[in-house]
Amino acid sequence: MNETTKSISILIGITFTLMLLVPDLLWLKFQPDTDGYARFFKAHPFLLALESSPKYLTIVNALFFIEHPAPDTKTSLWLPVCGFVLMLAYDICLMKRIVQNKASCGLYDMLFGLPPQEAMLPIAAFILLGIYEQSISITFTSILWAVGHIAILLKNNRERTDLSVSETEQ
């Protein structure tokens, strides 16, 4: 890997990391707790660890462990560009929720029985980054992150469904 390619790879990793962490930190500071988001994670620390550990391992891999040289062809640049667009879409969605002071319920709602599209955007972006960098570790930890995300989603939706059923029965 030549120095220019390595610098570009590091810059892409830093950009993706900042695009993930800055809105997440803002969300933690300004999130409304109208949907029990914070209570959910206090009640389920294992699920929080299942999602958070691979997330931060993915970030560390993206910043420090570039395993293979990124391809030099211009045709392969569509991978980080698409990843950047996904990260930008995630940032816009999250910032919109912060500005409108909305709860995270839409961020984790199922759509046609599939995982939430907004919450999966950064995961898809990091998977594309792993493919671009030809990094098994970035791709693998991103997939583990997705598994953790989906586990949280399923548990959260099950609890919401159980809560709404018990409320309608009363």
Residue-wise pLDDT tens digits, 10-23:
888 889 899 988 88
Q: How many domains does the chain have?
A: 1
- SS3 track for the chain: CCHHHHHHHHHHHHHHHHHHHHHHHHHHHHCCCCCCHHHHHHHCHHHHHHHHHHHHHHHHHHHHCCCCCCCCCHHHHHHHHHHHHHHHHHHHHHHHHHHHCCCHHHHHCCECCECCHHHHHHHHHHHHHHHHHCCHHHHHHHHHHHHHHHHHHHHHHHHHHHHHHHHHHC
pLDDT, one tens digit per residue, over 23-72 is 888 877 876 655 555 565 566 777 778 788 888 888 888 888 776 555 55
pLDDT, one tens digit per residue, over 135-168 is 888 889 999 988 888 777 777 767 666 655 565 6
**82 lies in which domain range?**
3-169
pTM over 0.85: no
Output 107 or 86, whichever has higher pLDDT. Answer: 86
